[in-house]
A and B are shown apart, each in its own frame.
Chain A
Amino acid sequence: MATLHTRTSARLMMSPAVILLLCWMIVPLAMTLYFSFLRYNLLMPGMEEWTGFGNYTYFLTDPAFSTALVNTLVLVAGVLLITVGGGILVALLLDQPFFGQGIARLLVIAPFFVMPTVSALVWKNMLMHPVNGLFAWIARSFGFQPVDWFAELPLFSIIVIVAWQWLPFATLILLTALQSLDSEQQEAAEMDGAGVVSRFIYIVLPHLARAITVVILIQTIFLLSVFAEILVTTNGGPGIQTTTITYLVYVQALLQFDVGGASAGGIVAVILANIVAVFLIRVIGKNLDK
C-alpha cells in the first residue's frame, strides 16, 4: 500500500530531527528543574541536598532579582519602542522612490549582521567614550559637557546599542509588509481628500498591524536573552544597574558556581519567555492555516 509506505518513510525522515530536538529540549530542561530543587554549589562538591523551593525563595526574594526584572523589562520595552517607531519611519522612507534606493537599503540593514560583541565594543569605546569618543567630541563642539554614557546612563546606553542592532530587522520586515500595500487604495483616499496623517493612521497602520505584532513578539524573544552586549560593556554594573535576568543567572551559575540558585533563575526565565511565546505561536500558527 503506497500511502502506508510513504507515511512510514515520512516518519522515518522526520525522526532524526524530532528525536534530537526532543532530547535537546527535554533533557537539559529536566536537569535544570531537578537542580533547581537542590542545594548544589560547585565549590562544595558532595554537599548536594534537597531543599525544596529554597532556591526559588532565595532567587525571588533577592533584591537583585526585582532590579534585574525591572532592568529586563525596561531594556525590552526601550528597544521595542525605538526599533518599532524608528522602523516604521525608516521603512516609510525606504518605500519612497529615490536615487540609489537599493544601496541605501543595504546600508540600513547592515547593523543586523554585526556580531553583538563588535557592536557593543565599537559603540562603547569609539562612539560613547567620555573623553575620546565621537559623541564627546560632537558635544564639545557644540559647547556642551560630554556625557559619560556608561557611568551616568548605563542601561540607556545598552538600550541604544541593542536598538541599533535590531532597527534593521524591524525596518526590513515592515518594509516587506509596506510593499504589499495596495497603492490604489491610497490613491482613492488621497482623491477623497485624506491627508498624509489620516492616510497613515487609517490605511498604512492597520495594514502594518500584523507585521508590527510579529516584530514585537520575535524581538521580545531575542531581547529577553540579550547577554553579550552587557558582558562586554558593563558586566552588569555599575552595581547591578544593568543586570538583567539572563545576566543574573549567568553570574550565579558561572561566577558564583551556585548551580541550584542559577537553575531556579533559569526556570523563572523560561516561564517569562513562555508568556511571550504563547502569543507568538498563536500568531504564526494562524498563518500556517492559510
Chain B
Amino acid sequence: MARQVTTRRKLGMTAVGWIVALLIFFPILWTVLTSFKTEGTAIATPPQFLFFDWTLENYFEVQSRSNYFRHMMNSIVISVGSTLIGLIIAIPAAWAMAFSPTKRTKDILMWMLSTKMLPAVGVLVPIYLVFRDWGLLDTRTGLVIVLTMVNLPIIVWMLYTYFREIPGEILEAARMDGATLANEIVYVLTPMAIPGIASTLLLNIILAWNEAFWTLNLTASKAAPLTAFIASYSSPEGLFWAKLSAASTLAIAPILIMGWFSQRQLVRGLTFGAVK
C-alpha cells in the first residue's frame, strides 16, 4: 500500500524543499547575476537582485584583459587529455579484473584505492623537483601526467564496477552461436560497456577540471587552467566582483551541466561502489 500523501502536506514540503534548495544554490545564482552587473552595481548597498541594467561587458573585459580562452583551453586540454589517457590505460586493466579475476584481483583493487589516499603533500616536494629538472613546470604535458595518475585509481574502479555487471554468460551464448572473438568484442561487449565508459569519462573530466592542488602548485601562467587563473583574483584584483563573477560563471557553467547529467554515477564513482 502506497502512503497517502495529502495535497496540503505535499504543498508544505514543496515550500520547504524549494527554500532549502534555493538557499544552497544561492551563491551560484548570485555569482551568475553579479556577472551581468557593472562594477558599481556589483558592490552596491542595498544589493541589486534583478532590476539593474544587465550588461555583457564583463565577459568581454575578462577575455581582453587576460586572454581567458587560453586558460579555458588549458583546462579543456588537461581535463580531457588526462581522462582519455587514463581510460586507455584503465580499460584493459578493469576488463581483465572483471572478466578473468584471480585471487589477487581484490588485493590489486584495494591497493589502487590506497594510492588515492596518499595525501598530495606527501609527494609534492619530489614531484616539484622532478618537474623542475625535466622542464615540466607550467606545461600542459606535466599537468596531464599528474592528473592522469591522480585519477587513474578512480577510473579503474569505476570501470571495474560497471564491467562486473556485464553477465559473462552472454559471451558464452555468443560463442555458441559461432561468434568470433572480434565479433564478440564489436557486437556484444562494446555496446554493453559504452554506458559505463561514458559515465567514467564524464565524472573524471569533472574531477580533473576542478582539481586545485596540483594545478595551483605546478603552474604559473602559461599552462594555468581556470582553477589557477581564478586564484589570481585573490589579489586586490578580486575587488572587481563583476569580472570575478563573469570569469567564475564561464568556468563553472560547462562542468555544472555535465555534473547534472552524471549525478547518478557520481555516488558510485566517489564511493568506489560502496554505496549504489
Contacts and interface: CB of A to CB of B under 8 A. Distances in A.
A213 to B, nearest CB: 9
B27 A116 contact: no
B143 interface: no
B274 interface: yes
A253 B27 CA distance: 34
Contacts of A21: 112, 115, 149, 152-153
Contact of B213 (A105, A168, A225): A225
- Interface SS of chain B: helix, strand, loop or mixed? helix
B13 to A, nearest CB: 4
A20 B263 contact: no
A117 B230 contact: yes
Interface string B207-244: 00110110011000000001110110110001101001
Given A113-B256, A132-B45, A137-B46, A231 B231 contact: yes
Interface residues of A, number: 107
A107 B244 contact: no
Interface string B230-268: 110110001101001100100110011011100100110
A183 B3 contact: yes
A173 B238 CA distance: 35
Contacts of B217: 250, 254
A169 B274 contact: no
Interface in B159-196: none
A29 to B, nearest CB: 6
Contacts of A82: none
Given A13-B92, A172-B263, A125 B238 contact: yes
A7 B152 contact: no
B122 interface: yes
A227 B92 contact: no
Interface string A1-36: 000001101110110111011001101110110010
A119 B27 CA distance: 8
B8 to A, nearest CB: 12
A250 B120 CA distance: 10
Contact of B127 (A18, A28, A107, A214): A28
A113 B125 contact: no
A124 B122 CA distance: 29
B231 A228 contact: yes
Contacts of B125: 31-32, 35, 253, 259, 262-263, 266
Contacts, number: 313
Contact of B10 (A16, A17, A99, A210): A99
B119 interface: yes
B158 interface: no
B129 A259 contact: yes
A177 B274 CA distance: 11
Contacts of B121: 225, 245-246, 249-250, 253, 262, 265-266, 269
Interface string A113-126: 11111111111111
B108 A14 contact: yes
Given A111-B27, A118-B248, A17 B270 contact: no
A11 B45 contact: no
A180 to B, nearest CB: 8
Contacts of B100: 6-7, 10
B166 to A, nearest CB: 16
Contacts of A267: 122
Return the 5 tightest CB-CB contacts between A and B, nearest first. Answer: A31-B126, A228-B212, A13-B92, A113-B259, A28-B123
Interface of B: 1, 3, 5, 10-11, 13-14, 16-18, 20-22, 24-25, 27-28, 30-31, 34, 42-43, 45-47, 89-90, 92-93, 95-97, 99-100, 102, 106, 108-110, 112-130, 149, 152-153, 156, 206, 209-210, 212-213, 216-217, 226-228, 230-231, 233-234, 238-239, 241, 244-245, 248, 251-252, 255-256, 258-260, 263, 266-267, 270-276
